[in-house]
Amino acid sequence: MCGFAGYWHKDGKTEAAFAERMVMQLEHRGPDDVGTCLDKSVGLALAHRRLSIIDISPAGHQPMTSPCGRFTLAYNGEIYNHLNLRAELERENGHFNWRGHSDTETLLAALRYWGITGTLGRANGMFAFAVWDRSERQLYLVRDRMGEKPLYYGRSGAAFLFASELKALTVHPQWQGTVDRNALTLYLRHNYIPAPWSIYQGIRKLPPAHFVVIGNGGADIGEPQCYWNLAAVAEAGVAASVDAGDSHMLADELDELLRDAVGRRMAADVPLGAFLSGGYDSTTVVAQMQAQSARPVKTFTIGFYETGYNEAKHAKAVAEHLGTEHTELYVTPAEAMVVIPELPTIWDEPFSDSSQIPTYLVSQLARQQVTVSLSGDGGDELFCGYNRYVLGHRVWRRLSHLPAGLRKTLSFILARTPAGQLERVMGLLPRRLQVSRLGDRLPKLAEVLGHQNGEAFYQSLVSHWKSPAEIVIGSREPETLLGNTARHPNLPGLRERMMYLDAMTYLPDDILTKVDRASMAVSLEARVPLLDHRVVEFAWRVPTALKYRGGQGKWLLREVLYRYVPRELMDRPKMGFGVPIEHWLRGPLREWAEDLLGEKRLREEGFFNPAPIRRMWAEHVSGRRRWHYYLWDVLMFQAWLEYTRSGASVSPDRRALAANL
C-alpha cells in the first residue's frame, strides 16, 4: 500500500523539490521508501511513497519504468492475481527477465503488452495509479472497480495536479484551493462528499471503475471512461439469477468463492491480521482466514464501556470459537475524544461519519502487531444487510398503498403540528400509550408521507440535511446519481435499487473512504475480500429471496457462516460501529462545539446560515430534540476549515473533557 502524487506544468519549472514536497504529505501511506521521476521535456513529475507489502526489496521501488522506457508507473494498491497475470504474460510473450516479484512490476508489464483496458479487465485488486506514456505523451489515471483506493485530480492555477490525498495537492506552488459551496451542500446531505466532487473547486475524485486520459501538458482533461459497469453487472446478474430453490448450491459456490477471495488477500511478505467486530461480515472473513491458516489468525477489536456501543464481547466469543490470537482494547470516552483533533488532518476534506473514530482506533491497535489487516466491509450492500432494506422497505411498501393525495395532506398536517405540545399531552397518557421521542419522529413521518416514489423515499433515508442549499450561503445542490432516476439500472424492486445505489455512493464515498484514511493514517494496509469483483458479480446473481428471508437480510451469507460458527453465537440484533456523539455533544464536547457553532463566528466565515444551526444546537443541548447527526456535519466542516486556515487542529479542552466524564 502506498501513496503517490504528481503534477504536469508544461510552461513552468519541473522541480523534483515540488514533487518531493507533495509526496512528503503522504509519508503515512508509505513510510518505507520514497521516489520521484521527472520528464523535463514535457514538464511532468511523478512521486511515490511506499509501504512495502509484496517484495519488500528495492526491486519494488517506485515510480517504476518499463524496460523499454515507454511507461512509468506510480501505483497504490494490490493486484491479488498478479502471479496469474505473470504466467499469462509469459505464455503469450515468452520469457520475462523479471527484476523481482512485486505486483507493481507485473502491472507495468501488463500495461505494456495489454494496454489500459486489457489490463483492467484482467486485474483482480484494489488500486489507484498514474501511468505516463512517453510515446503518446499521455497520462492515465485509474481507479479500482469498487473504489477502495482514492485518487484526486484537477487543474489549479497553471498546473494539473493529482494525488492519493488532497493534502498532497495543497503544497504545490500553483495551489489555489477555493471551497466549492455546491459540494458543501452534498456534504451536508450525505456526511461525505460524493465522487466526482471534492471540497475544492476544480478538483475531482475519479469515480470507481473509471480511468481518465490527460494530454497537452495537463490542459486536456478527458471525460472519465468506465471499464466495469456496476449497473450492467446488476442487470445481467438479475437476468441470470438462479431459482431460489438452489440455495445449497449457491451457498457452496459462495463458500468456495469467499475462500479464494480471502486466500488471495492473505498473501503478504509482512505480518497480517484482521478486524473482528463479531458481526456477520467480519466473522465470515476471519472464519475463512482461519480455515486456511496453519497458525492462529491475529484479530483486533475496540470495545467501549457504553453497553449500547460495545460489540467487543461478541467479537471475543467468536475469536474463542475460531481460535484466533485476539487482541481487544477497551477505550474510555476521553481516549476516544482525543482522536477528534486529528480528524481534519486524516480525512483531508469534511467527513462526518462518526464511526471514523473507532475505525481509526482499531487500525491503530492492529498496526502495533501487523502491517496488513483484512476487513469485512461490503457485505451489507451485496447481501441486503442494512435496516433500510428491511424496515425502511417495509414502511414504504405500506405507505405507498395510501392514495397520493391523502399522503400529501397527512404530511402537510404533521409537518405543522407543534411537537412540543403533543409531547406534553403524551406525558399525561398512561405509559403503555406513550410514544417516545415523538418530537423526532413526527417530522420524519411527515417527510416520508410526502414522497412521491420509492427513490425519493430512499434519498430521504440516506440524507442528513434535507434542504442543504438553504443552509449553505450562495450555493446550488448539484444533481447526483441518487436524484437522477434515468441513470438507474432496470432492477426488479426498490430493495434492489437501494442496494445498487448504496454500492455506487455510500460504499465508496463513506465506508471505503473511512477505512482507507483511518488505516493509512497509521501505515496499515486494509484489504476487503467481500469486494472482490467476482463476489460482487456473484451477489447480483443471487435472488433477493435468498438475501432477505424471514424478515432478515444476509440469509445466504449467514448460511455460509454457520458452517464455521454456531448459529446461536451469531443471532443477535445488528449494531453499528459508532460512538455516543449524541451524549458527548451535551456533555464533554459542549464547550468545543459551542465555540465552533457560535453565531458570530458562523456569520463572519460566511458559509452557513446560522439561524437553523443555532436552533438545532439549542434544542439538542436542552434535550428537546436529537440533532447530533446534523450538528456533527457542521462541526466537522468547521474543524476542517479551522485546520486548513491555521494549520492547527481545533482541540477540545482535555481538562474540560475530564471534568465532564
Start-to-end C-alpha separation, the chain: 38
Query: How far apart (Å, rounded) are the C-alpha atoms in residues 162 and 157?
Result: 13
Nearest one of 469, 443, 466, 479 to 609, comparing CA atoms: 469
Q: What is the pLDDT of residue 59?
A: 80
Query: How far apart (Å, rounded) are the C-alpha atoms in residues 374 and 289?
Result: 9
Kindly give the residue spans of alpha helices, DSSP state H, lying in 150-279: 166-169, 181-190, 230-239, 247-264
Q: What is the pLDDT of residue 657?
A: 41
Query: How far apart (Å, rounded) are the C-alpha atoms in residues 518 and 316?
Result: 23
Mean pLDDT by 10 residues, the chain (661 residues): 91 87 95 93 95 78 94 96 96 88 94 96 97 97 98 96 97 95 98 98 98 96 98 96 85 97 93 94 97 96 78 91 95 88 94 94 96 96 93 76 71 63 56 53 64 82 94 97 92 94 98 97 97 98 94 94 94 69 91 96 97 96 92 97 76 45 39
Q: Could you read off the pLDDT of 42-76 as tens digits, one per residue?
A: 999 999 999 877 767 788 899 999 999 999 999 99
With a CB cutoff of 8 Å and minimum separation 6, the contacts of 156 are: 169, 172, 174, 175, 176, 177, 202, 203
Residue 580 preceded by cis peptide, ω within 30: no
CB count, 10 Å around CB of 648?
11
Query: How far apart (Å, rounded) are the C-alpha atoms in residues 637 and 592?
Result: 14
Q: Could you read off the pLDDT of 373-428 as tens digits, one per residue?
A: 999 999 999 999 998 998 887 877 777 767 777 767 766 666 666 655 555 555 55
CB-count burial class (<10 Å; 0-12, 13-18, 19+) for 597: buried
Q: What is the pLDDT of residue 475?
A: 97
The pTM (predicted TM-score) of the whole model is: 0.91
Query: Do 1 and 76 meet the contact criterion of CB atoms below 8 Å apart?
Result: yes
Query: How far apart (Å, rounded) are the C-alpha atoms in residues 383 and 546?
Result: 9
All domains in the chain, ordered by first residue: 2-228 (3.60.20.10), 241-384+502-570 (3.40.50.620), 387-498 (no CATH), 581-660 (no CATH)
Query: Do 379 and 553 meet the contact criterion of CB atoms below 8 Å apart?
Result: no
Query: How far apart (Å, rounded) are the C-alpha atoms in residues 165 and 171?
Result: 12
3 state SS for 229-262: CHHHHHHHHHHCCCCHHHHHHHHHHHHHHHHHHH
Q: What is the pLDDT of residue 21?
A: 95
Nearest one of 649, 655, 646, 641 to 597, comparing CA atoms: 641
With a CB cutoff of 8 Å and minimum separation 6, the contacts of 325 are: 296, 297, 298, 299
DSSP bridge pairs for 526: 373
Q: What is the pLDDT of residue 100?
A: 87
Query: Do 620 and 631 meet the contact criterion of CB atoms below 8 Å apart?
Result: yes
Q: What is the pLDDT of residue 446?
A: 65
Q: What is the pLDDT of residue 148?
A: 98
Q: What is the pLDDT of residue 654?
A: 42
